[in-house]
Amino acid sequence: MLLHREGFATIFIASIVLIGINYLSDKFISYSLIKNTLVLLSLAVFIIILQFFRNPSRKLNLEANSIIAPADGKVVVVEKVFENEYLHTECMQISIFMSPFNVHVNRNPVGGVVKYFKYHKGKYLVAWHPKSSELNERTTTVLQTKGGEQILFRQIAGALARRICWYVKEGDTVNQAKEMGFIKFGSRVDVFIPLDAKLTVKIGEKTIGGQTCIAQLK
């Protein structure tokens, strides 16, 4: 299993803490049932942390006219909205919720030039809250395709996610489905697409980052 580089420090610290807890329990607790329980709980926690930071190798779906899912998860919103940060027009919003058990690598939904990027400090509402897209800690990225279409997407921190990582900046030329960031411990990604794009997912469907086509551009 490949591990994402964003998890190295967390895994190291968790290992030290868990080893310390079990060392102290072995030294000061005489009841074997308690000690064995702590060992099992520590192992379970460590496995959960490992799986959260997994970064599986996968075949990417590269299609010039397709908008590819930027994250693994579940589609929780498909609706027409007015995007008021950069595009200032009505768009279709597709929101993908990532549970702590999903792969949390974020990918570029299209290839093109980064026309706009901004990090916003904010709250930590649960990721499925309707206002999380506007109030939570988040980033906003706008990619312009070769055809001139502008696709806006946001990394949004959830109640557990307290760190958003990104690897793009304004002016960069990026490839479709390539890694652009990571969100730690539960989160959401919103994608804002043109109204004339053909939707290929609906609410409740599961997505695979870099593989699932969520819409087709005209």
Residue 156: strand pairing partners: 138, 188
CB 54 within 8 A of CB 3: yes
CB 214 within 8 A of CB 191: yes
Please tell me the distance from the alpha carbon of residue 193 to that of residue 42, in angstroms, as a whole number. 43
**Positions marked catalytic:** 187
CB 177 within 8 A of CB 62: yes
Cβ contacts of residue 208 below 8 Å, gap of 6+?
58, 69, 72
Phi first, then psi, for residue 141 (nearest 5°) are: -125, 135
CB environment 122-154: b (16+ within 10 A), e (fewer): eebbebebeebbbebbbbbbbbebeeebbbbbb
